[in-house]
Amino acid sequence: MLSKTIEAALNKQVKIEGESSQIYLAMACWAEAKGLEGVAQFMYKQSDEERMHMLRLVKFINERGGNAHISELKAPNVSFKTFKEMFQELHDHEIFVSASINDLVHITLQEKDYATHNFLQWYVTEQIEEEAQARAILDKINLIGDDKGGLYLFDRDIQQLQVHNVVSPGNTGA
């Protein structure tokens, strides 16, 4: 059974994951409108992955006797000056999500809820991978600079990046 404190913290993370999905969906739309088909496909996949992260939390909350809440989401930024700015926002957002997961893990330790702590370890690992991927993409963008040919190749190459560890909503690991 979840404590009210942990249930509230998990529901806060449900909202963050939902907003993450919306952020990446907005980025996909922007990239698609700019003719960056590879970037758009990558962002659509990222959006789907974040939605699955949200659903995994929802299922866990409900399975542990809590009540998952689906709340209103903050509208994402829908316009970017450059694709580099967009990927910098992606990187910054992943750092924010990591901090939120870390806070959640801390609460589970304070509450001595080791089942939820164990469940969250998947998210901890996932965030390490997400941050590393975002940093690697920014490094490539910095190498490209203002080279239009480089941007073309980057757009084509990013389609090859496989979104990892996508889970089904019923597979909570619990």
Annotated binding site: 17, 50, 53, 94, 127
- Other beta carbons less than 10 A from residue 107's beta carbon: 19
Mean pLDDT, rounded, of the chain = 91
Q: Say if CB 156 and CB 40 are below 8 A apart.
A: no
Q: Give the global pTM.
A: 0.88
**Alpha-helical runs (H) found in 64-161:** 83-110, 114-144, 148-158
- Residue list for the binding site for Fe cation: 17, 50, 53, 94, 127
Query: CB–CB of 127/97 below 8 Å?
Result: yes
Domain that holds residue 36: 4-72+79-158
Q: What is the CATH number of the domain that holds 113?
A: 1.20.1260.10
* Residue 165 included in any domain: no
Q: Is 170 inside a domain boundary? A: no
**Residue 56 covered by a domain:** yes
Query: Is 167 a domain residue?
Result: no
Residue 123 confidence (pLDDT) above 60: yes
Give pLDDT tens digits for 152-162: 889 888 887 75
User: Cβ of 100: how many Cβ atoms within 10 Å?
Assistant: 18
Helix (H) / strand (E) containing 45 = helix 37-63
